[in-house]
Amino acid sequence: MRPPKGLAPRAGGYRLLVEYDGSRFQGWQKQGPKQTAQGVRTVAGTLERVLQEAGLTVSTLGGSGRTDAGVHALGQVAHLHLSGTNPKYWELQRILDEGLPGDVAVRAVNPCPAGFHARHEATARTYLYQLSLRRTAFAKPYVWWVKAPLDPQRLQEAWAAFRGNHDLGAFADLAKGEDPRCQIHATDFLQDGALILLRVTAGHFLHKQVRRMVGAAVLCALGKEKVERIARDLAAPTPEANLFWGAAAAPAAGLFLEHVHYPGGADLAPLRAETRVL
């Protein structure tokens, strides 16, 4: 596939709205040449490959956040700048629609200023986690079936305990020197059929934070831990607490990057299930 002829380069770039099933991806971030040669599959690497096969040269491609291996996205936002010929927006959409594999799709291609940065300009991010109350034959890649009765009231109380400005040192894998504090704006809870939906919005997230938060809430819902322990470890995290909650982390399958917030952008949609389990 060749890029269309006769289109002059533009000063700006493209803003992409991307969704993907993370089951067979090793996360968003493109890997180095060695990992790529070994067949490590990433979302950014897949997008870049499709563009290159269409004869386009990628200058920069960056996402609003680095989702981990196995984590899905409903509304990942990325900035894209090309060197040389720049297709019109609908033509780039066609190239991506025709070239991308079935587990990743670009929902929208829009213009953006040359300086737009998907991660730096985001004001908040929202993640959704889906817990199933029963075994499901169809939704397994997108839910966590805990295989034991959950107390919804305890689950909701534990989830709400994370709201506020906290030191998440016990609930994340921190890089050396990384600030462990995180302002969690909202923790939403909804039971929809045989699913329990947990949604969290924060200005930023730490590595594996959401999965550890979900795992902690589930332990409380199973009666194996108390909400007071979550509150204690938020107030005074310890290395021992970090190891404990790390071992309790929820699997990646039920986690979705749902929405990325920008000044003047679209409002967050009402909480709803992304896969129905009746």
- 230 and 216 in contact (C-beta within 8 Å)? yes
Residue 152 and residue 64 in one domain = no
**Torsion sign, CA atoms 40, 41, 45, 51:** positive
Please give the positions annotated as active site: 68
Tell me, yes or no, whether 93 and 178 share the same domain: no
> Does 127 carry a binding-site annotation?
yes
Q: Is residue 210 part of a domain?
A: yes
Could you give the CA distance from residue 179 to residue 15 in angstroms, rounded to a whole number?
Answer: 29
In a domain, 173, yes or no: yes
**Do residues 12 and 112 make contact, with C-beta atoms less than 8 angstroms apart?**
yes
* 267: in domain: no
Output the six-digit token pair for 107.
């929902």
If asked whether residues 101 and 130 sit together in one domain, one would say: no
Q: Does 256 share its domain with 130?
A: yes
pLDDT value of residue 1: 42
Q: Domain check: are 202 and 227 in the same one?
A: yes
pLDDT attached to residue 36:
57
Tokens of 274: 């992304």
Whether residue 144 is found in the same domain as residue 74: no
Q: Are residues 104 and 216 in the same domain?
A: no
Mark whether 139 and 86 lie in a shared domain: no
Q: Say if 118 falls within a structural domain.
A: no
Report pLDDT for 39.
73
Instruction: Give the number of C-alpha atoms closer than 13 A to the C-alpha of residue 49, restricted to the C-beta side.
Output: 16
Q: What's the confidence (pLDDT) of residue 191? A: 95
- The CATH number of residue 76's host domain is 3.30.70.580
**CATH number of the domain encompassing residue 231:** 3.30.70.660
pLDDT for res 168:
97
Please check whether residue 37 lies inside any domain of the structure: yes
Domain annotation covers residue 230: yes
Domain co-membership, 136 together with 227: yes
Nearest in space to 188 (alpha carbons), one of 262, 79, 269: 269
Q: Please give the pLDDT value at position 53.
A: 97
Q: What average pLDDT does the chain have?
A: 93
Please tell me whether residues 192 and 246 are part of one structural domain. Answer: yes
| 73 plus 146 within the same structural domain | no
What single-letter DSSP state applies at residue 75?
A: E
Whether 209 is in a domain gets the answer yes
The reply to whether 104 and 138 lie within a common domain is no
For the chain, the helix, strand and coil percentages under 3-state DSSP, each to the nearest 5 = 30, 30, 45
Q: Are 160 and 189 within 8 A, CB to CB? A: yes
Q: How many domains does the chain have?
A: 2
Q: What is residue 3's predicted lDDT score, i.e. its pLDDT?
A: 41
User: Which stretches of the chain are DSSP H helices?
Assistant: 33-37, 43-53, 89-99, 152-160, 209-221, 227-235, 239-247
Per the structure, the complete domain to which residue 27 belongs is given by: 13-112
- Tell me the pLDDT of the chain (278 aa) as tens digits: 444 443 333 457 999 999 999 999 999 988 766 555 457 899 999 999 999 999 999 999 999 998 999 999 999 999 999 998 889 999 999 999 999 999 999 999 999 998 999 999 999 999 999 999 999 999 999 999 999 999 999 999 999 999 999 999 999 999 999 999 999 999 999 999 999 999 999 999 999 999 999 999 999 999 999 999 999 999 999 999 999 999 999 999 999 999 999 999 999 999 999 998 98
Q: Residue 34's pLDDT is what? A: 52
Instruction: Report if residue 96 sits inside a domain.
Output: yes
Q: Do 53 and 38 touch, CB atoms closer than 8 A?
A: no
